[in-house]
Structure 1
């Protein structure tokens, strides 16, 4: 294929995909001193969402079992579940849909939660039933070691994110980030999914500066993602609805902690990516921050703790992984920041049908958007956020990418 023909195809980078080994498979990746703990965890493990095993009847109803059954009967859903742990299957899915690269978050919807991290806890499971920081780190390490093997199949297309499990021991968190980067996990770091309480100090605490410094030095963006990490919603039938109404709010919180706490000022090379939590909210949040930090009735504002406006730190160091992106968000893209929005297909999650028919969904949601902006949302912004090598991705896009006219209306 010549350069002219290649230019007629779109480079697509997904900012949000999910992977994870079938839980028993983590046994070989868990440190031997925690194998007994792992067996105890495995014996209690209850799959969630589109799980292939029966849910514990002792837990109250959350999601509709009828809906899950119908969902799992689709052949493509079964292929998607396999694609979370089988890299060959995943690459076949990427090829079929024209996606050149996938940014990989951990999963919990196909009986594949990382050990000890309660990605699969029900919304009515109390937060104080979380595992210890030591075991959370052990689970993160097991997942990271498995992820190295998964991504090694096609490192130019499978961009993994490291887990650190807990912020309780900053030195060990830094050690894990350095290990991950050295061993091929180069997409960045996912912050622990506890966004609502301060069992550990919040992200503005200066004790975390060595971690932010290491992530900046290693060019490892830090991420938040919707999902677990929300408050205890109780055991009533409305619990999953309350979760769904609020789950996209909680992962916003590190944005203002990191900006107002001066983290992005002290670490100008640090990047923050906020994934699968909508994007309409960000401008109102930045407006409020810009106002509050300059308000003279606060000593913070009067003394000018931050040399830049919060919105300027956002423009310099933050991006939005706009999974499940909606047409209203696209219409508001210039208000939100057309250079900040990154499309993601959320493969293979039950709450997102985008990954089942991505080209069709892209045609609908991007209708009327100029081609340069389409290219930015589908790949260009991700190239900047992750420092990706365009030279390695262009030949892939030339081979599998959709033709421009398939997505961009004349």
Structure 2
């Protein structure tokens, strides 16, 4: 079935017109890799082969009436009420398709549904529908950058109803890397600066939620920052704590200024909000990130493969796990690989242990480590192996120069 089958009938004719003009914008939605996004049986086969018992399914296609993924499109201003209406129709079609996609693999998929911030009442209704319907992956929080037509996330009068319903229904709020920044154009140099600025905007969204008082007012709200890396988290928390202390008049130096009224409502330091409510979706987890796990919080980290993206650790996820977690205590590895995600998204670990018994990896495999020289050359596309595979490839090339030629 296609998105067309999940649309309100009132939009089907216009969908057909839109589909005639639609051009696929992403390489991982083209060619032989494309069906990973929607072929349920193929996805299960790939998961089994890769040693993955269950997954959180993030949106990775273009919904009806969008030109690009909704993650990117939400960064641009909505062009009037009709445009907003059609985008909502497209997102609702995606969410209803996603529900059936997850139902195809009971207990093994937690789907992340989508909303828009331009209509908070509609977003609240969609959260309520998704939770009641059985989507357990939480909501994907769109960005609110300059030019998007929506207020910043710290403006509580606009968004408190959304935070309330997510808190009350225990719906995780997922912040995907790259979803918080504005686009300045479509040329190659625009793309370059967009990529260079991604992390800055991701961090800014996190600052807004913390320093803007969202987590203070909603102490049971859970926030997952995924595909943004982990190395920045300890540094940013130290910086935010310093700013906080400075604004309270408790720190000196070049960050000292009198702005206590801006954070009157905050009862905790920023790092304490992190410890209470925030999680890192550790896509492409690298040994350098494993080294800071205690500063991030072992109970805050959720390992991920980034399937079905072309840069995912698939089909080398077992090697990626061994690379990242070599030498990590068993109890910590279990939290990172399964326990934290099960707690966040409601997975049944007893059931998944049976699945994992057939797919692996075993305890021994996880902790045996990886000899970089044994990694295949195509693993180099995945950041989990950054700085490892290239050296291994050069070694193999040097010892097999004649064969390679």
- TM-score of the superposition, structure 2-length normalised? 0.80
Matched, 1:84 2:61: no
Tell me which of 33, 45, 63 is aligned to 2:10.
33
Q: Relative CO higher for 1 or 2, CA cutoff 8 Å, sep ≥ 6?
A: 1
Return the structure number with greater helix share. 2
Query: Counterpart in 2 of 1:230?
Result: 181
Give the Cα–Cα distance (whole angstroms) in 1 for the partners of residues 109 and 280 of structure 2. 19
The DSSP-based 3-state class of the residue aligned with 2:112 is strand
Query: Counterpart in 1 of 2:64?
Result: 115
Asked if 1 retains the 8 angstrom alpha-carbon contact of 2:66 and 2:73, the reply is no
Tell me which of 344, 356, 362 is aligned to 2:304.
344
* CA 1:344–1:303: 2 relative to 1, 3 Å: closer
Give the Cα–Cα distance (whole angstroms) in 2 for the partners of residues 302 and 160 of structure 1. 37
Shift in Å, 1:121 = 8.9
Query: Counterpart in 1 of 2:136?
Result: 186
Query: Counterpart in 1 of 2:154?
Result: 204
Asked if 1 retains the 8 angstrom alpha-carbon contact of 2:77 and 2:149, the reply is no
Mapping for residues 304-383 of structure 1, pairs under 5 Å: 304-352=264-312, 354-383=313-342
Asked if 1 retains the 8 angstrom alpha-carbon contact of 2:78 and 2:149, the reply is no
Structure 2 gap ranges (5+): 250-256, 370-405
Give the Cα–Cα distance (whole angstroms) in 2 for the partners of residues 273 and 122 of structure 1. 15
* CA 1:364–1:161: 2 relative to 1, 3 Å: same
Asked if 1 retains the 8 angstrom alpha-carbon contact of 2:136 and 2:346, the reply is no
Query: Counterpart in 1 of 2:365?
Result: 406
Shift in Å, 1:345 = 0.5
Listed one character per residue, the Cα deviations across residues 210-238 of structure 1 (whole Å, up to 9, x for unaligned) are 11111111111001112455333434433
CA RMSD in angstroms comes to 2.7
Shift in Å, 1:148 = 1.0
Shift in Å, 1:245 = 2.3
* CA 1:302–1:247: 2 relative to 1, 3 Å: closer
Give the Cα–Cα distance (whole angstroms) in 1 for the partners of residues 71 and 221 of structure 2. 33
Mapping for residues 380-391 of structure 1, pairs under 5 Å: 380-391=339-350
Shift in Å, 1:178 = 0.8
Q: Which has the larger radius of gyration?
A: 2
The DSSP-based 3-state class of the residue aligned with 2:110 is strand
Asked if 2 retains the 8 angstrom alpha-carbon contact of 1:193 and 1:229, the reply is yes
Asked if 2 retains the 8 angstrom alpha-carbon contact of 1:98 and 1:401, the reply is yes
Query: Counterpart in 1 of 2:47?
Result: 94
Structure 1 gap ranges (5+): 1-20, 54-71, 73-77
* CA 1:129–1:204: 2 relative to 1, 3 Å: closer
Shift in Å, 1:137 = 1.5
Asked if 2 retains the 8 angstrom alpha-carbon contact of 1:123 and 1:233, the reply is no
- TM-score of the superposition, structure 1-length normalised? 0.79
Asked if 2 retains the 8 angstrom alpha-carbon contact of 1:221 and 1:270, the reply is yes
- Number of equivalenced pairs: 357
Asked if 2 retains the 8 angstrom alpha-carbon contact of 1:252 and 1:274, the reply is no
Tell me which of 227, 235, 259 is aligned to 1:276.
227
